[in-house]
Structure 1
Amino acid sequence: MRKCFASFLLLAVSLCVALPARADAYHAKPKLVVVLVIDQFRGDYLDRYRDDFKTKNGFNLFLKQGAYFTDCYYDYANTITAPGHATIGTGAYTNGHGIVQNEWWDLKRSTTHPVSSVEDERYAVVGDPASKETGASPRNEQASTLGDEVVLATQGRGKLFGVSLKDRAAILTSGHASKGAFWVDHASGKFVTSTYWSKQLPAWAQAFNDSGRRDQAVREAGAKPGHFYEEVGAHPASVSYLLDFAKSLIAGEQLGRHDVTDVLTISISSTDILGHRVGPDAPEQRAMIDAIDVDLDGFFTWLDKNVDGGMGNVWVALTGDHGVAPVSAVAEKLGIPAAMFDAKKLAAEVNDRLNQRFSPGKGSKYLLGLTMPYVQLDPRTFEQAKVTEAEAEQAVAEILPAALEATLPPEEKGISQVRLPSRPLIRRVYTRVQMEAGQIPATEEGRLILHSYSTNLGWFVMASPGMYEMSQRTGTSHYSPYSYDRHVPLAFYGSAFVPGTYHDRVAPVDIAATFASLLRINQPSASVGQVLTMAMRPEMSESVARKAVD
């Protein structure tokens, strides 16, 4: 009888430990939520390089102590940095948040250059008087973020910040109501913000810029002054530089020490800056990932000592903003039909054919830009030729496949004794008019295309290339509807989650939905994510927990 009672008591106590008390943002349970994004971090990396990770609180914080999802895929086709970060923050796709590319032509704002996803000429850059960059804001993000909803729920008491080397990554993940978004000036490497948030840097941020930490990063990377983003950004030194700034922010703003939940978004850009040059299979990229593991271990170990209650009062989500294709030459050597084409030549060929069709002999400019997967049309030129939007987009859709073929070397004739090089192709083209009306084939790709729709581009078509195709001559990229560009890791750490490996098919939009549910706040305004209950601990109220122990 005594053994049974003892066993029952032991079970009750273990349940109290296993089942967390009720969480919510209103009582700082947890104290801090961190959304950690690693740019161009494909979903297979954590397992591919798992044997390299020797630290306790680096990637093993998620692999061994967290809830790790192996099969997380974006459910849209424009797999690019700006839409990826907006998707993570808002829990919506492009058709919900409006961010379609890193930059695009907006003729209402500029007829001389494309505007970036966060560019805002109404504001000025703060933090580097010598900066030549334009001010920024989340003006184009047409949905609220998880952090925005925490601020709303706590009536402004919860603090929200975003940091990254990239402005779009810092801004779009954190949102509209942040106390500050910080990124680096491309030339100097100083952390800057915009007058959208404040007239001057906070004292702690200015102190960081004045500390000599930037000079240390430049030396570690062996970089030339004035080329911080391109040279230091592609070196592991940029990762520790970013995380040291995040530490200064946490200490300066006392994040994790308030009576409501605070939110911090961090995006590590270094894997993307380097990855475009060397590809996912290069030893340099592996070394970068290994360095991130060590730096994350230092960061989370520091966080444990600088948040009330330590890491037991912190929740973290880890994901990527998109995947990446292998370098075409590497893939082709392994037998994959990979190919490259010249986007500039393709744009010129399409424009020539449009002139032949609508304005023979005039040499009119019908395209604003061709940045895969989108081709933006200039409505002014088509309207002068008395061509409607539907007619213009349909004409480009018809022309694109043959125009691409015309830019390629002639195909070899006869029977070959060796494997021939792959030839790029355009598989399908979708017009904006079709997307707006929902007149897209009811296929898997069709759903991805509809999720990639935005009103921001004006007249456009969206092209679906062949698999493993690149619209550039060197390195690699990402922009396709294929799984290698959509696959990213997803993992959670914190008292609310059951550690383990999960093979459920999930998506990055689920981060905002899951955190919002646990924090007892509204999901972001356009959220479409699912609450990942399979990885959530069942809750026990504090009163029940006390009774079980008593």
Structure 2
Amino acid sequence: MKIVIKCLFVLMIITSCNAQKPISEEKIEDTNPKLVVGIVVDQMRYDYLTRFENKYSDGGFKRMINQGFNCKNNHFNYIPTYTGPGHASVYTGTTPKNHGIIGNNWYDKEIKSMVYCAGDSNVSSVGTQDDAGQMSPHRMKTTSFADENRLFTQMHGKTIGISLKDRGAILPAGHTANAAYWFHGREEGVWITSTFYRNELPKWVSEFNTSNTAESYLKVWDTYYDIETYTESGTDENTFEGGFKGKDKATFPYDLEQLAANNRGFDILKATPYGNSLTTDFAIAAIKGEQLGQDDITDVLTLSYSSTDYVGHNFGVSSKEIEDTYIRLDKDIERFLKFLDSQVGEGNYTVFLTADHGAVEVPSFLQSMKIPSGYLNNKETRTRFTDYLNTKFKSSDFIENVSNDQIFLNRKYIDSLGLNINDVQETMVNELINYAHVEKVFSAHTMTTSNFTTGIESLLQNGYNQKRSGDIILVADPAYISYGKTGSTHGSGLNYDTHVPLLFFGKGINKGETYDKTVIPDIAPTISALLGISFPNAATGRPLGFVIQK
């Protein structure tokens, strides 16, 4: 009997010890990826996944689709669809209404001047004498999920941001990043940062900058495959493309070494697929140099591919150049995923891929197809509106600034005349709605006193920041843009600008797909839920539970 009791006692002790075992550590090790990589492809429409599908390898986009989760009906839920707001929204889980990045540039009503979303005169450049490094995320009002991961891990989990564009590196990485790096072209061709992050470049960045990697891409850009097989895009020679200075026609091939001098030196790489290849090279060097994903504390790499945007703006949505750029980007993604397999370990990392906005087909091309589209005559509109103000109010001094499809009024002047600002706004709305190719006009008063849940109105409201946005917001007709006659642009709340890819892949991710609507602010809460960390502090999106393995 004593032996039985003794055995039971020992069993109880063992059970008790097992119960008190710190299972949280086991859970973190078992469920959390060692590295999260967020990929944003600048100006990637959703249909680039499907249109060029037959040209993609099995190891790039298709690997993420076939082995991961594909959200096929993913949209931006705000206006404007620009690069700065897009990158901020992906990582903060909210819209410009809350995070405050209402454009790439916007009119600051306090200082009465335009400001840049990442500009910061209080910091200095690191890696160049040029002022291109005077950048920080100080204008972004909220945290990103990368910030929350840093806080959750007591700053032990690293965050590194990388992009050719400063804003594409800085805003995703957040306020607490170990560093963000962007490419300074022109005559230098180097990766730089700012004193917001550190006072000197780490050794691995300096070594990369002196490795002649950027120089190696100043070569001939020709199509990856036989150009005759590029049947998913238009003719190579047409009137809808811009091209490069120093070359008469926007046709393949392009001798980048020869053209560089007339196209801002190393900056020419940005407008070719080689800019994406250079970005991939640098990302691989960063993972090695910073030892990302080498322990059980989750690190974050924010990676933005910018060349797709430059190529789209220059050559347009249906160009041979954009097709070749995506074929080559697919190769870079395949190369990057293979590197993660070997460096971090297959099954030890998580990747998501999305875009910061889409793009409209070149309106002049659409016009040739008899599709309603065109170009806004802003000069004519401004002249007509000025004449109206002089007739109606005997003054045109009501306007302080016009930018980003918004009008900023001189409120002090209007108040000095004894006029009610809300009445003035509505009077202007009623005038502007009569102008050609103006589809909708709204006042700040409407944006702040109404609650829209559907349509363009809802998207405008999600993009409207009461302290930073203007007094009047204009919406143009579909496919009518303020842009040149060649190349594509973006910014609207229409499907060509809002419908972008959303792929999840890797550790903790289900395999599957959905046509249920998802929105950009859902991404950050989903990654936060995967990691078991706090959502970004102003997140309005919801975690996509069907993406995460239970």
Sort the TM-score into its range (normalised by shorter chain). Answer: 0.7 to 0.9
- The 2-side partners of 1:315 and 1:228 are apart by 36
Per the alignment, residue 55 of structure 2 pairs with 52
* Aligned twin of 1:452: 463
RMSD of aligned alpha carbons: 2.3
Q: Paired residue for 2:401, among 359, 362, 368? A: 368
Aligned counterpart in structure 1 of residue 430 of structure 2, from 374, 389, 398: 398
Equivalence for 1:39: 42
Among 364, 385, 395, the residue aligned to 1:350 = 385
Aligned partner (choices 298, 302, 306) of residue 339 of structure 2: 302
Pairing partner for 2:328 from 281, 284, 291: 291
* TM-score of the aligned structures, taking structure 1 as reference length: 0.84
- Aligned partner of residue 133 in structure 1, secondary structure: helix
Q: Which residue of 2 aligns with 1:327?
A: 362
Contact 2:126 2:200 in 1 (8 A): yes
Q: Cα distance 1:210–1:347, how it changes in 2: closer, same or farther (>3 A)?
A: farther
| Gap runs ≥5 in structure 2 | 1-23, 221-255
Q: How does 1:372-391 map to 2 (within 5 A)?
A: 372=405, 374-379=406-411, 381-383=413-415, 385-391=417-423
Paired residues of 1:25 and 1:150 also in contact (CA < 8 A): no
- Tell me the SS of whatever aligns to 1:430: strand
Q: Are 1:161 and 1:174, in contact at CA under 8 Å, matched by a contact in 2?
A: yes
TM-fit CA distance, 1:364: 3.7
Amino acid at match of 1:463: L
Pick one of 412, 422, 441 that aligns with 1:429: 441
AA of the residue aligned to 2:522: D
* Per-residue deviation, residues 449-473 of structure 1 (Å, max 9, x unmatched): 2111113435432212111111123
> Does the CA-based 8 Å contact 1:369-1:375 persist in structure 2?
yes
- How far residue 344 of structure 1 moved from its aligned partner, in angstroms, is 4.0
Cα deviation for residue 78 of structure 1 reads: 1.2
How far residue 36 of structure 1 moved from its aligned partner, in angstroms, is 0.2
Residue 383 of structure 1: how far off its partner (Å): 4.7
* Alignment correspondent of 1:139: 138
| Distance in 1 separating the partners of 2:267 and 2:411 | 35
Question: What is the DSSP-based 3-state SS (H/G/I as helix, E as strand, rest coil) of the residue aligned with 1:488?
Answer: coil
The one-letter amino acid paired with 2:433 is P
2: CA distance between counterparts of 1:114 and 1:229? 27
Taking a change above 3 Å as real, the CA distance of residues 351 and 519 of structure 1, as seen in their structure-2 partners, is same
Alignment length, in residue pairs?
A: 488
Aligned pairs for 1:116-515 within 5 A? 116-129=116-129, 131-133=130-132, 135-187=134-186, 188-219=188-219, 221-222=256-257, 223-225=259-261, 227-228=264-265, 230-307=267-344, 310-360=345-395, 364=397, 366-372=399-405, 374-379=406-411, 381-383=413-415, 385-402=417-434, 404-405=435-436, 425-437=437-449, 439=450, 443-457=454-468, 459-474=470-485, 475-515=487-527
| Deviation digits for residues 19-45 of structure 1 (CA, Å, limit 9, x no counterpart) | xx9997677821100000000001111
Q: What is the letter of the counterpart of residue 398 of structure 1? A: N
CA-to-partner distance for each residue in 1:491-511, whole Å, 9 max, x for gaps?
Answer: 111131222332221122221
> Match for residue 528 of structure 1?
540
* TM-superposition CA deviations, 1:206-251 (whole Å, max 9, x none): 2111211122233453342572575211111111111111111111
CA drift at 1:134: 6.0
> What's the offset of the Cα at 1:353?
2.6
SS for the counterpart of 2:535 is: coil
Q: Write the letter of the residue equivalent to 2:213.
A: R
Which position in structure 2 is the counterpart of 1:537? Answer: 549
Does the 8 Å CA contact 2:41/2:306 hold for their aligned counterparts? yes
Distance in 2 (CA, whole Å) between partners of 1:101 and 1:442 is: 22
Q: Are 2:114 and 1:114 equivalent residues in the alignment?
A: yes
- Would the aligned equivalents of 1:100 and 1:456 in 2 still touch at CA under 8 Å? no
Paired amino acid for 1:78: P
CA contact (8 A) 1:71 1:505 kept: yes
Give the distance between the partners of 2:464 and 2:302, measured in 1 at CA: 26
SS at match of 2:294: coil
- Superposed CA deviations along residues 341-396 of structure 1, whole A, max 9, x for unmatched, are 13344334333432333334xx6472412333x33334455455554432443343
CA distance in 2, matches of 1:102, 1:284: 25
Question: What's the secondary structure of 2:500's corresponding residue?
Answer: strand
Distance between the aligned counterparts of 2:511 and 2:453, measured in 1?
Answer: 37
Change (3 A) 1:117 1:295: same
Aligned to 1:416: none
What is the match of residue 30 of structure 1? 33
Q: Which amino acid aligns with 1:153?
A: F
Structure 1 consecutive aligned stretches of length 4 or more whose deviation exceeds 4 Å: 21-28, 383-388
Return the letter of the residue paired with 1:517.
Answer: A
The alpha-carbon deviation at position 436 of structure 1 amounts to 2.0
What secondary structure is seen at the aligned counterpart in 2 of 1:312? coil
| Distance in 2 separating the partners of 1:273 and 1:375 | 28
Code of the aligned partner of 1:445: I
Identify which range, 284-293 or 58-67, moves more after superposition. Answer: 58-67
| Unmatched segments (≥5 aa) in structure 1 | 1-20, 406-424, 539-550
**Contact residue 133 and residue 192 of structure 2 kept, 8 A:** no
Amino acid of the structure 2 residue aligned with 1:227:
R
CA contact (8 A) 1:165 1:229 kept: no
Whichever residue aligns with residue 462 of structure 2, its letter is H
Distance of 2:443 and 2:195 partners within structure 1 = 38
Amino acid at match of 1:256: G
Could you tell me the TM-score, scaled by structure 2's length?
0.84
Conserved? CA contact 1:96–1:143, under 8 Å = yes
| Match in the other structure for 1:544 | none
Contact 1:106 1:456 in 2 (8 A): no
| Kept after mapping to 1: 8 A contact 2:31/2:508 | no
Structure 2 residue matching 1:115: 3-state secondary structure: strand
| Cα distance in 1 between the residues matched to 2:159 and 2:428 | 44
Residue-by-residue CA offset, 1:397-440 (whole Å, 9 max, x unaligned): 233234x43xxxxxxxxxxxxxxxxxxx1111112222122x25
Contact 2:126 2:192 in 1 (8 A): yes
- Find the aligned partners of 2:355 and 2:420 in 1 and give their Cα distance: 40
